[in-house]
Amino acid sequence: MKSLALLCALSFPAVMFSASETDRAEIVYAPAEVSLQSVQTQFDATAGTISKQLTRAPKGSTITIQIVGGADQTGNSPDNDKIAASRAERVAATLAKRFPMATITPFSLSDDANERTVRIQWKITAPPPLPVVPRTPVRELRRIIVLVLVLGVLTIAFIIGAMLYTTAVVKKEGKKQIAAVIKQVTLIDRRNNRKLRVPIVPHEGGMFRLPARYQNGNPVVRASLRDATNACQLLLNSSWQEETDRLIASKEIEVEVLPG
C-alpha cells in the first residue's frame, strides 16, 4: 500500500488555468545529497514556473503546495526516511520565503518509491467572482431583512441542536478517532516465516501511533515518524507474540507468508 504522501502527490490532474490551476514538477538528487544548492537549477526553474502562474492569476488567488521527499533504497530505511524528510523540508522552507502567501505541506515518502526526488505539486485557485447586487425597492428590502433574520434564528437553533446531539452521542459511544495511514512499515518475521505490514497513523499532539497496545491497554505512541517506524520492531519480539497475533486476527496489520 502506498503512503499518504504518494497519494497526495498523484491525486490531482494538471489542468489549464480557469478557476484554478494545478501543476507539478520533480527535482532529482544525487545519491545521499540533501542540500538545495546541488539542485539549484531545477529548483529555480520550478519556482519560476510558479511565479509566472501567480502573475497571470487573478488578484486574490490562493496557492497550496505539496512537497513529497523521497530516497532510494540504498542503506537502511530510518536513514532514508531522514534524507527524504530533509529534502522535502529544505525545499518547503525556501519556497515559503519566495511565496509567503502559500500554504505549504511537506511529506516524507522515505524509500517507498526508491526515487531520489522531491515532487512538488501546487494548485492556484482564483477567488470567487463578486456577486452582482441589483437595486431593490425599500419595501422589498425590508422583507428580505426580515427573512434573513428569521433564517438566522433558525440556523442558530439548528446549530445548537446539532451540538447538543453531538455531545450526547460522544458521551454515549466515546470518541472515535479516524486516522489516515501516513506510512506502512514492512517487517520480516523470520521466526514465523512471514512478512508483516504495520500502518502508522497520526495521533494527538502531532505524534504518531501504531495499532499495537501495551499490556495496560495504552497505545504505542512516538513523537516522530522515525521513532514510530523503529517501534514497529517490537512486534517481532517474542514477548509481543500474543499482541502481534491479535492484530493479525483483527486485520489491523497485514500478513503474508514467505515462500520456502
What amino acid is encoded at 165 in this protein? Y
Domains of the chain (ranges; CATH) run 4-125 (3.30.1330.60), 183-257 (no CATH)
Residue 192: Cβ within 10 Å count: 14
The residue whose grid cell reads 447586487 is 133
Total-model pTM: 0.44
CA dist., res. 159 & res. 204, Å (int): 26
pLDDT in tens, the chain (260 residues): 334 444 444 443 333 344 455 688 999 999 888 888 889 999 999 999 999 999 998 888 999 999 999 999 988 989 999 999 999 999 999 999 999 999 999 999 998 989 999 999 999 998 888 787 666 677 788 888 899 999 999 999 999 988 888 777 766 654 444 447 778 899 998 888 999 999 999 988 889 999 999 999 999 999 999 998 998 999 899 889 999 999 999 999 999 988 86
